[in-house]
Every structure is written in C-alpha cells, then in structure tokens.
Chains A and B, each alone.
Chain A
C-alpha cells in the first residue's frame, strides 16, 4: 500500500520580510475600489482550480499548497473597470462614500479608510505601508503588517484551515476567506442540533426500548 514517507510541507511561505511590522496603521478597507462584500463564512473546502492557485516563489506554503482566488463580489474585479482615472475621477479626500460601495461598513480598527490599503494609483492592487504594490492574492502580506503573529502561524499551518492531504497536496485559505477585511470578526454560527439525552434514545427492533 502507500508507503511514501509523509512530509507535511510546513515550508516557509512567501517572503518573511514584510511579515511583522507592528505599529503601523493598515488593513484593508474598501474604497471606490472593489468590494469584499461576499465574505465566505464557514468556508467549504475550496474547489481548487489549477489556475486559481497562487504560483511562483511567493506561493503561500510551498509547491504543494493551493489557495483559491480572493473572494471578490461578483463582477467587481478588475476595479479599473470604473477606476480608470476617467470614468471615476481620483479623489483622495477622506470621506464617507455615498455613490458607490456605501454598503461597506468598515469595522476594522480605529481611524482607517479605504486608501490605507487600496492603492489610489493602481486600483487593481493593494499597497503595503511602504508603498509596495501587492496583488489581491497576496493580501496576507498586508494583513501580516499588523497581525504578524497570525501570519507566522498561518505560514506554518496553525492559524487558518488546511484541507486535502496531511502528507501531500493541500488547499489553504487566505485571511480574507474567513475574515471579511472590512469587518474581520468571525461571524457567529447557528450550532447544529445537540445530541439526544440518553433518556430519549430508543433502541430499535429487538433492542427493547
């Protein structure tokens, strides 16, 4: 039978450099850019499509770990559909959004606003505090600027959910699959039914209830 020696790849994920920079403001907020409206609560094991996998040297977790694409609201990406500099004029004034994305309630730390995380110049990307642009599929780097301890645990597979094979191919989720970046608290769930108390369990035929 299977005799391959299992080797869970707890390989380091991505570049650790930006991982833990505390003391900076940050974290996603939506702007005139895309919305993360559809938060995936209680994520099912994602169906990984090869194209969806984050590839390359910064793949989160090494070659055996796939991550599904970020959970955008349908049709909202690429953001440059509207934010092309002409259709919607760039406005960097801190304000309450009224015309669009007004459904987004930002509940993520004090004093944040959209352009803390979304890039004003390139709406299809996010930016780190040092201005480096990052892809939405690498948003964990952005989250990790404040939540360095969580990023560290996530890289080794302790925080977050891995599915698939314990000794081989795994699927992983981005921070934003479980935590809506605009309101990251994990939403409460309805519990499934409690077990029956012994007095209510009846043995069937022959078991003499």
Chain B
C-alpha cells in the first residue's frame, strides 16, 4: 500500500495491456466496443470514449497526460466561455507542507470558507464547503458533541465561544487513501492528499473513513456561475469536477506549488492561519511547532495530520 508503488508513466505496477498499433483493425474494434460498452454501462451520454478509457493519473505517460490536459482545457473553456488552464505542477523538492491554525485568534468570521469556495471552484448549488467552522463553548473546550457549525450571530466572536475551522488535515497516515478501492486518491510527495476525479468511482468509502468530515461528494452536477469560475486550475486540485466524484481541500495545490500561500491564509482577517514548509527550519510553521502549544485534532486516531491547531497567546 505504499503510495510510491505506482509511478507515473506506467513502468511500475500493472503491466500495460498489449498495445495494438493504432489504426489496426483490432484497435478499431476494441475502441468501438469499449465506447459502446461505456454508453451501455454508464448510461452517460456525455462521457467521451477518451474519458472512459482513461487510466489512473499515476499510470499515465507524459504524452498521455498532455493529451488529457488539452482535452480538459478545451472542455472547460467551452463550458464556461473563457480560457481555463489545467496545471500539472509537480511537488517541489525538499518540501513537505504543513498548516497551523491559531485557535486563540480565530473569530469565526467564515471569510476563509468563501475564499476557498471561490478559489477552488466548489459547487455553489448544490452547496459544497471544504472548510467548516465549528463554534465551541469555551467552558466545554474542544467537544465535537457541543460544536455548532450553523452559528449565525450578528457579530463574531460571540461571547463565551471560540471557533475551530476544520478542513482536510492532509494526514501522513490517511484513512481515506487506505480505503479507496480503486486508488483514485493518494498522498503526494509534498504531503498533499489528492483525488483523480477521472478515476474516482464515487463509492464514498473515503468519506466514511475520514474522521474530519473533510471529503465532499458531488451529488449533483456542480453549479458554478461562469463568471465566478477560477480559470487557473490544477489537474489534482481545483479543476471543475463532474457529478458523482469526491473532492477535498488540497492546500490550494494550484497556488502552493507555485510558492503562493493558500487562499484561506490570504483572506484571514486575523492572521490565524499559518502555512509553510515543515522541512525548512526557518519557516513560520516550524517556529510554531517548536515554540507554541500545539493541539492535534483526534490525535488518538493516529492519522498524523499535517494540519495543526495552536494557541498563539
């Protein structure tokens, strides 16, 4: 179950099925047969043959990936009426992402929730939020049974309460990856847990396995107004998703792999959100882990999150 067992390019793992020369009669029949089967089995008129026969992202060769990206960019650009790019930025060398959130300073204003929705092309209708802010009672401490995600006072922070935003913890030991029956989700070298939306079968085992409620399912066709679509996307991140797949926070993979802070860090008005490279001893995140009181959510489950809570005061 090592996450490195399958390298991109298909050289490891499953031997590639014999590759008939393109244009041969056999190839044609196989392709036609698959397409017919695709239509019959899925009942999905919109699924192209290329999409149906596409392999797991990690088994694809570079030319195949390029081809797919081109196809997707064309598809998205047509759908939303503007140029949408699909990036493939790989993990940086010597980088392991970490996140820390200051529980003593978060005021529960939910600016991060909506900045994330916008940046990551989450469905507006039906609604999907990757970040959920829990309102907790100061007297009770972090107690999930007492947590209220639907709070809506005139002003926050409400007296006697504190706030705890929860999103994907990018676990080093991710239960969601373990349970995926088709390996459509995996941990990247920089610690980000990603989903191949074209390989996901929508069984939602991962959602059941995740103790943080961080995974979300597209029950319907995602609804995003064209003018609000973020056209800068990543294949493993915020590209528009189809109906019937699971999605989750990726630490804004399309931003952070270019060196930018995630959108939630940028928007937070209190500066409660901290992000950086765990392998860089001079980073903010390392300072926090070494000098502050750090709290790991559901630590007893041994998920080993790379998302930490701390008390900055």
Contacts and interface: CB of A to CB of B under 8 A. Distances in A.
Contacts of A42: 109, 111, 269
Contacts of A207: 126, 219-221, 243
Interface stretch (A30-38, A110-118, A134-142, A186-194): A186-194
A140 B291 CA distance: 22
Given A1-B92, A5-B94, A157-B287, 12 more contacts: A3-B92, A6-B276, A8-B284, A43-B269, A162-B261, A163-B261, A167-B280, A178-B270, A189-B107, A189-B109, A195-B129, A201-B219
A3 B305 CA distance: 25
Contact of B126 (A10, A43, A202): A202
A106 to B, nearest CB: 23
B282 interface: yes
A4 B89 CA distance: 13
10 contacts: A1-B89, A165-B261, A166-B256, A178-B270, A186-B270, A189-B156, A195-B127, A207-B126, A207-B220, A209-B220
Interface residues of A, number: 50
A191 B261 contact: no
B154 interface: yes
Contacts of B282: 7-11
A164 B261 contact: yes
Interface of B: 89-90, 92-95, 102, 107-111, 113-114, 125-127, 129, 132, 149-157, 219-221, 223, 243, 256-261, 265-266, 268-271, 274-277, 280, 282-284, 287-288, 291-292, 312
A191 B152 contact: yes
A160 interface: yes
B266 A163 contact: yes
Contacts of B276: 6, 8, 166-167
A205 interface: yes
Contact of B288 (A4, A158, A168, A190): A158
